[in-house]
Amino acid sequence: MTPRIIEPFRIKVVEPIKLTTPGERRDFLEEAGYNAFKLRGEDVLIDLLTDSGTSAMSAEQWAGIMRGDEAYACSRSFDRFRDRIQDIFGFEHVIPTHQGRAAERILFSTLCKKGDVIPNNTHFDTTRANIEYTGAKAVDLVIHEAHQPSKYHPFKGNMDIRRLRDTIAEVGPDNVPLIMLTITNNSGGGQPVSMRNVREVKAVAQQFGIPLYIDACRFAENAYFIKTREEGYANREIKEICRELFSYADGCTMSAKKDGLANIGGFLCTNDPDLAQQERNLLILTEGFPTYGGLAGRDLEAIAVGLEEVLHDDYLRYRIASTRYLGERMSLAGVPIVEPPGGHAIYIDAKAMLSHIPVNQYPGQALVSELYLEAGIRAVEIGSVMFGQVDPQTGEETPAAMELVRLAIPRRVYTQSHIDYVVEAVLKVNERKHEIRGLRIVEQAPFLRHFTARFARVANSEVAQSGV
């Protein structure tokens, strides 16, 4: 029998969660226009909307909050923050920011210009938006296996090296100011990147004289996948793996709301002193003095402690095992998911599960609604509501490549019995899946419509006409 992996912590503070009745949930969902973003947090029982900024902090982190030095400039808390980051990531210049996208904005507005091209395995939406804001183009060059939900690949977040070379050759290296790699690949199912792939990307970057940056949000989860899946790393410490991985990079952006185990914060790193100076000048303009960058001293402390705790073997073993547990229990019972389970989330293939609902009736959004109605669980659609392209002239819509529903697991927040409850709810919805109807949009904004759109159930007559 394989040994049981337990939560490697005990609970010191509890936050009650509210049980609601099916009737109440129906009313709340209708009020929210079938959009989970509009549900009040207190009406949600298990919140799997995101793993960002939702971690439970440890006693040591709370102690750090009390230690926070709120000196405007050159605080002790900044020294601890910088030292911890230098120790793990190995970069010389550490620039604090209020969250990941602020680091992205500063990096891209310093390096990119109109007409440039920035390759990544898959750009996260804020990365893409910040690049496009400078007039540059963000291109995704992940391996093709990443687009096949049911296919197993141990490092489905890897960059396609041939397409990377071809892209640089096509646009010219002078128009590629940096290459990025997102670890793990959030928009591609939370899938890891192998050390070998990082080395290969670095070799291409070096050949063309282009800096390599890592989007490091889930760096510890990625390092654990390298330790457990890649030859030669089983006996290496997680920190050593991180040190090696970042040694191939020229800098990184980071949202500490993920593997910083903090509720807010981020940073930008580089080894280039001139670039660091330009970045600090921009930082002062919008974020704050270079030793706090939009954060309080106490936030810097919480991140410094979180970055140390996230590297513990027992924490990472539990973290990856609990995500895998959720994925395996669902897939063994016949629920189609993106395989293999990722680090921070499970993605249900809603197109495969609700194959009777045409993509223009948003099977992902319909599944999100059913999970809430069934059990008060909040998930998020990552499909045509989020990424469908609407032609402004004709109003015609091109659907997204996949119709996924993401169940993101906040760090150290839910116990195994919460996860068992989620599995039971998903299986119950799966049993009655043929009764589920699609949705239509009744109100939407021209940009980022998924946050605010309102939906209604399609009428029975429209169901009969479906079949796309």
Ligand X SMILES: Cc1ncc(COP(=O)(O)O)c(C=O)c1O
Q: Which residues of this chain interact with ligand X, rule CB under 6 A?
A: 52, 99-101, 124, 126-127, 182, 186, 215, 217, 255, 257, 266
Name which of 143 and 264 has its Cβ closer to ligand X.
264
Q: Would you tell me the crossing angle of helices 416-431 and 363-375 to the nearest 10 degrees? A: 120
Name which of 213 and 414 has its Cβ closer to ligand X.
213
Angstrom distances, CA of residue 53 to CA of 24, 49, 67, 102: 28, 11, 21, 15
Q: Which residue is nearest to ligand X (CB)?
A: 100
Name which of 211 and 376 has its Cβ closer to ligand X.
211
* 245 burial type by CB count under 10 A (0-12 exposed, 13-18 middle, 19+ buried): buried
Nearest distance from C-beta of residue 41 to ligand X, angstroms: 17
Name which of 260 and 358 has its Cβ closer to ligand X.
260
Name which of 112 and 217 has its Cβ closer to ligand X.
217
Nearest distance from C-beta of residue 318 to ligand X, angstroms: 21
Residue 230, both tokens: 């890649």
Nearest distance from C-beta of residue 2 to ligand X, angstroms: 31
Q: Dihedral of CA 397/401/405/408: which sign? A: negative
For residues 441 and 454, the answer to whether their CB atoms sit within 8 Å is yes
Name which of 215 and 403 has its Cβ closer to ligand X.
215
Name which of 110 and 175 has its Cβ closer to ligand X.
110
Residue 161, both tokens: 């090296």
d(CA 241, CA 248): 12
Nearest distance from C-beta of residue 264 to ligand X, angstroms: 8
Angstrom distances, CA of residue 324 to CA of 6, 225, 335, 342: 13, 12, 14, 7
Number of residues that this document lists for the chain: 468
Residue 19, both tokens: 């049980």
Name which of 251 and 266 has its Cβ closer to ligand X.
266
Name which of 124 and 233 has its Cβ closer to ligand X.
124
Q: Dihedral of CA 195/148/453/138: which sign? A: positive
Name which of 52 and 322 has its Cβ closer to ligand X.
52
Nearest distance from C-beta of residue 157 to ligand X, angstroms: 10
Nearest distance from C-beta of residue 14 to ligand X, angstroms: 27
Nearest distance from C-beta of residue 107 to ligand X, angstroms: 11
Q: Phi-psi region for residue 187, left (φ > 0), alpha (ψ -120 to 50) or beta?
A: alpha
